[in-house]
Copies of this chain bind each other. A is one copy, B any other.
Amino acid sequence: MMTYDERLEHLLATAANIFAAHGFHSTTMRDLSRATGMSLAGMYYYVEGKDELLFLIQERCFTEVLTGARAAIAAETDPLERLRRFIRHHVGFFTAHMAEMKVLSHEAESLSGERWETVNRLKRTYVDLLLSVLDSARPEADSSIDARVAAFALFGMMNWIYTWYDTEGPVPPDRLADQLAELFMLGLVPSTVPAAQQG
């Protein structure tokens, strides 16, 4: 037997996987019924409807990344190291929760109204967190790169993962995280040459 919470968890996890695989709109409640083994009507005991399902997945996932990110950088004071940890955590979490994170990245606009706002508030908080980490890490305030551009470039690098990355492929999650961090911080061509050119 399972408890109420376990069943809800099961429903959410299954839904995340199927939303990730087929997209939110293309997934039918019947698909979920089939995949969970619950009856169609039975799911409505746990969840208000399809929208709430998506909402719960996104809210929980966002809350978790947010909390995790805060914890990951909490102890560190060195600006560059804080940034590196933020990146490692995000990529690590993403690769460990591919389905949920794909749903987060891809179905950002599938919600609306109050639910959308709640999720967006979380998102903004998370963006702000990166912005603050970035602010200390960047060389000078008068950098040639806008703060928001830098932040969203980084998010783009990381969130695009769901599009091509395979956990089981030749690049393990850890290395992926390191490479993305290095790429973002030092660039593809980190060499002495460009640095000299700039001097």
Question: A-side interface residues toward B, CB under 8 Å?
Answer: 23, 25-26, 80, 83, 106, 108-110, 134, 137-139, 144-146, 148-150, 152-161, 163-165, 170-171, 175-176, 179-180, 182-199
| Stoichiometry (number of copies) | 4
- Having A144-B179, A148-B171, A183-B184, one finds 17 other A-B pairs with CB under 8 Å, namely A108-B163, A137-B189, A149-B171, A149-B183, A154-B157, A156-B156, A156-B157, A157-B157, A186-B186, A186-B187, A186-B191, A187-B188, A187-B190, A190-B191, A190-B195, A192-B198, A192-B199
A193 to B25, CA, bound (A): 49
A198 in contact with B189 given A149-B179, A163-B152, A164-B152 (CB within 8 Å): no
- Contact indicator B23/A26 (Cβ below 8 Å): no
